[in-house]
Structure 1
Amino acid sequence: MRRRSLRTSLITIGTAAVFLLGACSTGSSQDLGGPQLTEVEGPSEEYIAWAKEWYGDFYGLTDLPEVEFVRYVPSEELDFVIRQCVIDQGFPAPDGVNFDVPQENQENMYLAQYICARQYAIDEKYLGEWTDEQTRLQYKWTVEYLIPCLEVRGHSISEPPSETAFIDSWNNGGAFFPFQQVALDVPGLEFSVEWDKLARACPQQIPLSIAYGYQTIEQWKAMRQ
Structure 2
Amino acid sequence: MAVGGCAQAGSDSGSTGETGSKTAVTSASEWDPNSWKAKIKISPRYKTEEEKLAFRAQWLKRDAEFLELETPPDVPLVEWQGSLELMDNKNAECFKERGFSAHAIPQGGVIFNPAIPESQYEAYKIAAYECQAMYFPNPEFLTDWSEDQLRVIWDYWDEYYIPCLAAHGFTVDTSERPARETYVATFHTDAVNRWFPSNDGALLTQIPPEVWKKCPNIPPESELYGLE
**1:1-225 matched pairs, under 5 angstroms:** 32=41, 40=49, 43-44=52-53, 46-77=54-85, 78-93=87-102, 97-100=111-114, 101-124=116-139, 129-159=144-174, 160-173=177-190, 174-183=193-202, 197=209, 201=213, 202-214=215-227
TM-score normalised by structure 2 residue count: 0.60
Q: Read off the aligned partner of 1:168 and give its amino acid letter.
A: A
Distance 1:196 1:168, change over 3 A: farther
Other-structure match for 1:21? none
TM-score normalised by structure 1 residue count: 0.61
Q: Read off the aligned partner of 1:197 and give its amino acid letter.
A: P
Which 10-residue stretch deviates more, 102-111 or 128-137?
Answer: 128-137
Other-structure match for 2:5? none
Unaligned runs of 5+ in 2: 1-39, 106-110
> Which whole-Å CA distance do the structure 1 matches of 2:143 and 2:222 have between them?
12
Query: What number of residue pairs does the alignment pair up?
Result: 177
Residue 66 of structure 1: CA displacement?
1.3
Residue 195 of structure 1: CA displacement?
6.8
Residue 213 of structure 1: CA displacement?
2.9
Q: 1:154-186 deviations in whole A, cap 9, x for unaligned?
A: 33212343312221232332332012445369x
**Greater share of helix residues, 1 or 2?**
1
Q: Read off the aligned partner of 1:175 and give its amino acid letter.
A: R
Unaligned runs of 5+ in 1: 1-30, 186-190, 216-225
- Percent sequence identity over aligned pairs: 24
- Is the radius of gyration larger for structure 1 or structure 2? 2
> Which whole-Å CA distance do the structure 2 matches of 1:209 and 1:131 have between them?
15
- CA contact 2:81–2:135 (8 Å) conserved in 1: yes
SS in structure 2 of the partner of residue 171 of structure 1: coil
